[in-house]
Amino acid sequence: MLITLGVRDMRKHLFVLGVVIFLCCCSLLQATIITIDDFESGSIDLRPTALTVPIIQNETGLAGVYGGTRTIEYTVFGKSLSGAGVEMAESLLIDNNGKRNWSTVELTYDAGGAGLNLDLSSFTIISMDAWFEHVAFDKDTVVTLTLSDGTNTASVTKTWDVEQCDLDLTLYFSLSGFAGVDKSNIQSLTVYIESDWYGEYAIDNIQVSDHDVPEPATIAIFLLGGLAIRLKKA
């Protein structure tokens, strides 16, 4: 009898988990996503040779980049070039390991000057995965996203202060915040990153979505919550 009850309870728990997984999958399938850059195409390895002098790299024919072209501008500030650099290894990695420098990185997507001709009028969110590690805590980290329709531009800026170090997160930029640009005719998208002194940073998966897509951690919370509710009622 005890074994029978155990099997029945297990079936109930599995049923609840199955329903939760199904709902999460439906949410994922319903979302429309445009990838701006998955950082799996191209090759970036920039090492500065002088302070305050920008290094510019332009790559074309990139399969994982909307419009096929990525332009990156990298500038190092401070007192030393030691440990500074930008490279791509499954994500964009920005290093300021010399303790005496900080940097700016600007990523531009405009199809090599031809324009993206991107209609975002039915989309709600621009997101990117990010990891920030502060060490010196002397200045804020700044991430600015800029959209242009060829005539007008609009920017949204997010900052992280000294209390927010070693962050692994997804940055969300609501398209409602980009006032004054024609969202049905976006010609360029620019991401500007200003680092802290002696910080390490990573950026990955710049995407546009018409839906807040659940992250793996969110899905896990749903699953555990569903199981807890089922156990409480059992």
How does pLDDT run across 86-110, given as a tens digit for each residue?
999 889 988 876 567 888 999 999 9
- Average pLDDT score, the chain: 80
User: d(Cα 209, Cα 173) in Å, to the nearest integer?
Assistant: 11
Phi and psi based region of residue 182 (left: phi greater than 0; alpha: psi -120 to 50; beta: remaining): beta
Give the mean pLDDT of 22-40.
74
In this structure, are residues 19 and 227 in contact, taking their beta carbons and an 8 Å threshold? Answer: no
Q: Are 44 and 230 in contact (CB under 8 A)?
A: no
Q: What is the pLDDT of residue 11?
A: 57
Q: 33-212 sits in which CATH class?
A: mainly beta
pLDDT of residue 102: 82
Contact 109, 188 (CB under 8 A): yes
Residue with tokens 């429309």: 32
Buried/exposed 62-82: b ≥16 CB within 10 Å, e otherwise: beebbbbbbbbbbbbebeebe
56-62 long-range contacts (CB < 8 A, ≥24 apart) are 58/112, 60/112
Average pLDDT of the residues in 177-182: 96
Q: What are phi and psi of 115, to 5 degrees?
A: 95, 145
Whole-angstrom distance, CA of residue 43 vs CA of residue 13: 47
Highest-confidence segment of 30-39, 102-111, 164-173, 203-212: 102-111
Q: Cβ neighbours of residue 153 under 8 Å, at least 6 residues apart?
A: 146, 147, 180, 181
Q: Supply 38's token pair.
A: 């998955």
- Size of the chain, expressed as the number of residues it contains: 234
CA distance 15 to 119: 41
